[in-house]
Amino acid sequence: MAFCATCGTAIPDGASSCPKCATAGTVATATAPSTAGSLENNVAGMLAYVTIIPAIVFLVMAPFNQRPFVRFHAFQSIFFNVAWIILWVALSIIGSIPVLGWMTFLIWPLVGIGGLIIWVILLLKAYQNQMWQLPVIGPLAAKQAGNA
């Protein structure tokens, strides 16, 4: 698949101009490395999931915040981290209730392993140039990144 070198919009196969900005002759293939920064899109997308700090940096820095792929993964990383914090706070509150405290002792390791598995999947999918969406968070990230 080809992308517009100006705005990053996906260009259908066989088209010679961008449908969004109508720029002709500036088609970049998906396999070509990006020259707008020192990182390729897949590496920047993967790094967005390493804590919340790179995701925020990629949304602020000029060459990365103009790439739809990187913006999507940065937003999904931020939303995933916020959901993760909310889940842990909720489990802490439930764990402080004396009657339910023993249940959270059993649930915490399962939730931790599940979160680790999801995080590794997100890293791998971003590195493979895939815009894999989490069930609730993914559509929100796509909407914020302008991909929806």
Delimit the domains of the chain by residue range: 1-32, 36-145
46 band by pLDDT with thresholds 50, 70 and 90: very high
The angle formed by the CA atoms of residues 113, 116 and 118, to the nearest 5 degrees, is 110
For the stretch 121-146, what's the b/e string if a residue is b when 16 or more beta carbons lie within 10 angstroms of its beta carbon? ebbebbeeeebebbeebbeebbebbe
Say yes or no to pLDDT of 32 above 50: no
Residue indicated by tokens 């949304």:
59
Q: Which two tokens stand for residue 130?
A: 């895939």
For 57-87, how does the pLDDT look when each residue is reduced to its tens digit (9 = 90+)? 999 988 888 899 999 999 999 999 999 999 9
Say yes or no to pLDDT of 109 above 80: yes
Does the pTM exceed 0.75? no
Strand partners, 2: 11, 29
